[in-house]
Amino acid sequence: MMKGIGIDIVKVSRLSERVADKILSDKELKEFKTYLDVNKKRAMQFLGGRLAAKEAYLKAVGVGMYNGISLNQLKVVKDQFGNPTFEDTPNCFLSITHDAGVAVAIVVIY
Ligand SMILES: CC(C)(COP(=O)(O)OP(=O)(O)OC[C@H]1O[C@@H](n2cnc3c(N)ncnc32)[C@H](O)[C@@H]1OP(=O)(O)O)[C@@H](O)C(=O)NCCC(=O)NCCS
């Protein structure tokens, strides 16, 4: 049975590099900086995708339950194929896309 669903959309141009450490875990921040060195647009899409993923997750679990949690405590990791999931969070599906200036994420808790 599905226990929760969350979706979020982020306009990438509204983000700045300065908010990265509020949104990203240490490992994500490393990946962000690697992208930033070669392709700023890709880096900001990555950041938008991570923000959308974490906000969608909070919607899926019920924001009230996570009162006070900071987004950089949630960790999105990727498998060998690039498919993202939340680290240490079983029973959870995550999908991210970014194009046309926005990043969108959807989370299902089952
Ligand atoms: C996965 C794939 C469909 C993504 O489509 P796309 O239009 O290029 O990219 P989108 O903007 O829609 O989505 C990008 C996001 O998809 C997610 N993603 C990447 N690979 C994924 C995969 N294998 N499965 C699910 N989601 C994936 C990531 O979160 C990525 O964003 P991020 O890198 O910033 O976290 C495309 O890369 C593809 O067909 N790849 C070939 C299949 C494959 O397995 N490749 C891995 C090679 S080992």
Q: What is the DSSP letter of 16?
A: -
Q: What is the CATH number of the domain that holds 103?
A: 3.90.470.20
Residue 11 annotated among the catalytic residues of the structure: no
Q: What dihedral do alpha carbons 6, 12, 18, 20 form, nearest 10°? A: 40
- Check pLDDT > 80 for residue 8: yes
Place of tokens 């969350």: 6
What number of residues does the chain have?
Answer: 110
Q: pLDDT tens across 30-70, in order?
A: 999 999 999 999 999 999 999 999 999 999 998 776 677 78
Ligand 1 midpoint to CA 60 (Å) = 22
- Summary mean pLDDT of the chain: 95
Q: Which domain holds residue 9?
A: 4-109
The tally of domains found in the chain comes to: 1
Terminal C-alpha separation, the chain: 6
Ligand 1 midpoint to CA 96 (Å) = 8
* pTM attached to this predicted model: 0.92
